Structure 1
Amino acid sequence: MAQDHAALPSKAADITPTPVRPGIDLQINGEAFHHTGDPEMPLLWYLRDVLRLNGTKYGGEHGEGGADLVLVNGKATSAISVTMSKLADKKITTVEGLTDRKGAGLHPLQQAFIDEDAIGCGYCTPGWLIASMDLLNRVKDPSDNDIDTLPNLCRCGCQTRVRKAVKRAAAAMKQGAKA
């Protein structure tokens, strides 16, 4: 039985490596990525369809309701509204990236949401966590008014419990900073 070797290179010098395709370098949840696809792809679809990070939700074409929020360089940003081309060399944190990277446990904000039962159906929860994290990064002791300015919508009626969770997390984070 003869094998057809015509498809194989005749010698090693005939092998030419494919150059690295130009793309967009970014960091997601502390891990480096190089996106070589469509630069106009919304970040949301890259997270969900390419990386399979499904915590960030689709909340509408314009990011209404905050379900699609992620942190970009620490600031809450609508993942459907920002394209990959705008994210070169940026640091993105999704809801999956809030946990302790060493596996030691949940972030105090996540634990506070559990403790205060601020989850409802859960669809909006990742966006609430991200928006709350952005707020807590800026305001160490947020007031009700500060929390009420968050852009998130919850059709289950968890807003009062979210307010309690954010305040609980702020207290826990302050306590952790003193330790």
Structure 2
Amino acid sequence: MAISISLTVNGSPVTADVQAHTLLVHFIRDTLRLTGTHVGCDTAQCGACTVHMNGRAVKACNVLAVQADGANITTIEGLAAASDGALHPMQAAFRECHGLQCGFCTPGMVMSAVALVAQTPDASADDIRRQLDGNLCRCTGYHNIVKAVLQGAAAMKQSAEQSAALEPAAPAAIR
């Protein structure tokens, strides 16, 4: 028996019929064809399937698609919102710091790192190591991953400051 769900994925509304047992990761990959979200372990151990659900990092192999009904989902494909093709600051930092080797873990690592920095903008290297504990890298590129997250955090902070500076000032109160 199919269940109808409606959600927003990468800013676009999506409505689909899914089986009650369909995992969010399989819905994203198989139904929506967004294959940047990887299937690694199907047990929520490796973090390769990490996406943002309502702004929070979740392992999509541990969430049923029906549980995402009404949710706002962001995948690695939706992270860089720039129409000019520019990477998100965290994606750029992973590239610049060689925070990837085979690339299998990279989408999940980037999604987890963005959520981490949103919660803890000034995270230390030790904080990053602890928080990314649920994401596994088969190639043992952790040193460069931590370096990338630190650089990405600084770039995200700078980008936020620049955006705030460009916003028009609130009008002065009329007396």
Q: TM-score range by the shorter chain?
A: 0.7 to 0.9
Q: Tell me the TM-score normalised to structure 2 length.
A: 0.86
The percent of aligned pairs where both chains have the same amino acid is 38
1:157 aligns with 2:164: no
Match of 2:49 among 50, 54, 68: 68
Equivalent of 1:107, from 88, 101, 118?
Answer: 88
Describe the SS at the equivalent of 2:41: coil
Over residues 82-113 of structure 1, what are the superposed CA-to-partner deviations in whole Å (9 max), with x where a residue is unaligned?
00111111011111111124234110000000
Q: Which has the higher helix share?
A: 2
* Distance in 1 (alpha carbons) for counterparts of 2:161 and 2:36: 31
In the alignment of these two chains, the number of paired residues is: 159
Other structure's SS at 1:147 match? helix
Question: Mind listing any 5+ residue stretches in structure 2 that lack a counterpart?
Answer: 163-175
Give the RMSD, CA atoms, in angstroms.
Answer: 1.4
2:70 is paired with a residue whose SS is: coil
- Mapped partners of 1:158, 1:65: distance in 2: 14
**d(CA) in 1 for partners of 2:78, 2:84:** 11
Q: In structure 2, do the counterparts of structure 1 residues 61 and 22 end up closer, same or farther at CA, with 3 Å as the change threshold?
A: closer
The answer to whether 1:53 aligns with 2:28 is no
Matched, 1:87 2:68: yes
Contact 2:121 2:157 in 1 (8 A): yes
The residue number in structure 2 matching 1:170 is 153
Residue 128 of structure 1 corresponds to: 109
SS in 1 for 2:73: strand
1:40 positional shift? 2.4
Bigger Rg, which one: 1
SS in 2 for 1:80: helix
Equivalence for 2:122: 141
Tell me which residue corresponds to 2:170.
none
Partner of 2:171: none
Cα distance, 1:61 vs. partner? 2.3
